[in-house]
Amino acid sequence: MREWRRVIGGSTEGRREKEQQRGDAALWSKCPKCGEVLYRRDLAANLDVCTRCGYHFRMNAYDRIASIADGEFIEIGQDVVSSDPLGWSDKKTYPAKLGADRERSGVSESVLCGFATIGGFPVALGVMDFHFRGGTMGRVAGERITLLLEEAERRKLPCVIFAASGGARMEEGMVALIQLAKTTAAVARFMEAGNFFMTVLTDPTTGGVSASFAFQADVIVAEPKAMIGFAGRRVIEQTIRQRLPDQFQTAEFLLEKGAIDMVVDRRSLKDTLVRLLEYTRHDTKAR
């Protein structure tokens, strides 16, 4: 069994201390949708949702966990870290990029996995962080997600994964693409054993993640206006030689077409997850 690390509810304090040291830039944020200048403390208190127009800012993994979990988060797989399988190098080496992202984002990889309770329900919880290599999935992300699903299956716990990704990681080439098959197979085994799997798609969820575990769930939830798709809009338009609808690749568009189950405001997300977990418990008892 891999060593576990306990992360208590106040785990984001270190990150916020760093932000405060950066000066005025850390005190204010401008909403990219309505242009409102927001005091960072007020924005954080509103779960990084604009208080004027409801725009959902991208959330880092630790803040996401703090907003969803009841308190303690027990992480697994943190000893699985990235190497350089292809010896990739351009202007910066791949290890140098990883080091810079770890320093900037405060996380060791693009996904954190572990166990927590949500509304009193024990769950396996995975949270992707777009601030680390654009949330891309490489060998480590695939391995951590697989470990999470396997351990959740052993414990007979539901699994919830928050997706935020630009797709497969370019610097790992075929090694990254293999993770699509690996995570897809892990989800299939988990669900075939009668376990409940839910994904929450956040902005953006694209590429290899959307083509694998993100759309395999029993219930697929998305945040408002999240960009969700596989290839980019421009690539698709150039391929089919047609203009796509304005709302194409948004959560609302996918809901209208039946590709996802619901779109939920972040401020109501925890309550929604608790209700879904409650339904799952009753369904399990009925069996």
pLDDT, position 26: 74
Beta strands (DSSP E) in 166-252 are 197-205, 219-222
Backbone angles phi, psi at 125, to 5 degrees: -125, 125
Q: What is the rounded CA–CA span in Å between residue 186 and residue 180?
A: 10
Distances (CA, A) of 12 to 43, 61, 157, 185: 15, 10, 26, 33
137: buried, middle or exposed (CB in 10 Å: 19+, 13-18, 0-12)?
buried
Q: Which residues, other chains included, contact 283 with Cβ-Cβ below 8 Å and sequence gap of 6+?
A: none
The Cα-based distances of 21 to 15, 18, 25, 209 in angstroms read 10, 5, 10, 35
| pLDDT of amino acid 1 | 34
Q: Which two tokens stand for residue 147?
A: 């470990």
Inter-helix orientation angle 61-68/266-286, to 10°? 60
Question: Which pLDDT does position 280 carry in this prediction?
Answer: 86
Q: What is the pLDDT of residue 281?
A: 80
Q: Is 285 helix (H, G, I), strand (E, B) or coil?
A: helix
pLDDT score at 25: 62
Furthest-apart CA atoms within the chain: distance in Å: 58
Angstrom distances, CA of residue 223 to CA of 128, 144, 203, 239, 267: 14, 24, 7, 28, 10
Neighbours of 133 (CB within 10 A): 25
pTM greater than the 0.85 cutoff: yes
pLDDT at 97: 95
What is the CB neighbour count within 10 angstroms for residue 211? 16
pLDDT number for residue 21: 52
Task: Name the residue among 231, 263, 262 with its Cα closest to residue 248.
Answer: 231
Residue from 120, 118, 279, 119 nearest 196 by CA = 279
Please name which of 205, 197, 183 lies closest in space to residue 249, comparing C-alpha atoms.
205
Residues 43, 97 contacting (CB under 8 angstroms) = no
Does the structural domain 5-9+58-286 have CATH classification 3.90.226.10? Answer: yes
Q: What is the pLDDT along the chain (287 residues), one digit of tens a residue?
A: 333 445 544 444 555 555 555 555 679 999 999 999 999 999 999 999 999 999 999 999 999 999 999 999 999 999 999 889 999 988 999 999 999 999 999 999 999 999 999 999 999 999 999 999 999 999 999 999 999 999 999 999 999 999 999 999 999 999 999 999 999 999 999 999 999 999 999 999 999 999 999 999 999 999 999 999 999 999 999 999 999 999 999 999 999 999 999 999 999 999 999 999 999 886 655 55
Rounded to 10 degrees, the C-alpha dihedral 187/168/260/243 comes to -150
